[in-house]
Copies of this chain bind each other. A is one copy, B any other.
Amino acid sequence: MEVITKIKDIQNLCESLRIKGKSIAFVPTMGYLHEGHLSLMRKGKEVADALITSIFVNPTQFAPNEDFESYPRDIERDKSLAEQNHTEYLFLPSNNEMYPKGYLTSIQIEGFTLKFEGVTRPEHFKGVATIVAKLFNIVKPHFALFGQKDYQQTLLIKQLATDLNFDINIITCPTIREHDGLALSSRNVYLTKELRQKAGVIFHTLENAIKIVEEGENRRKVINANLHNILRSVPEIKIDYASSANADTLVEPDLYLPGDRIVLLIAVFLGKTRLIDNAVVSVPSDPKVKPYYFV
Chain A residues within 8 Å of B, Cβ to Cβ: 7, 11, 15, 18-19, 21, 103-113, 129-130, 133-134, 137-138, 140, 159-160, 163-167
Contacts and interface: CB of A to CB of B under 8 A. Distances in A.
A165 B11 contact: yes
B104 A167 contact: no
Contacts of A160: 105
Instruction: Name the 3 nearest CB pairs between A and B, nearest first.
Output: A105-B163, A137-B165, A104-B111
Contacts of A7: 165
What is the oligomeric copy number?
Answer: 2
Contacts of A137: 164-167
Contacts of A106: 107-108, 110
Contacts of A104: 109-113, 159, 163
A278 to B, nearest CB: 21
B167 A11 contact: yes
B15 A167 contact: yes
Given A18-B18, A18-B19, A21-B19, A163 B109 contact: no
A129 to B, nearest CB: 8
A34 B212 CA distance: 65
Given A18-B18, A133-B133, 4 more contacts: A104-B159, A105-B110, A106-B107, A134-B165
Nearest to A106: B108
Contacts of A111: 104
- Counting chain B CB atoms within 10 Å of each CB, the highest count among A103, A138, A160, A163 belongs to A163
Nearest to A7: B165
A19 B23 CA distance: 12
Contacts of A19: 18-19, 21
B108 A105 contact: yes
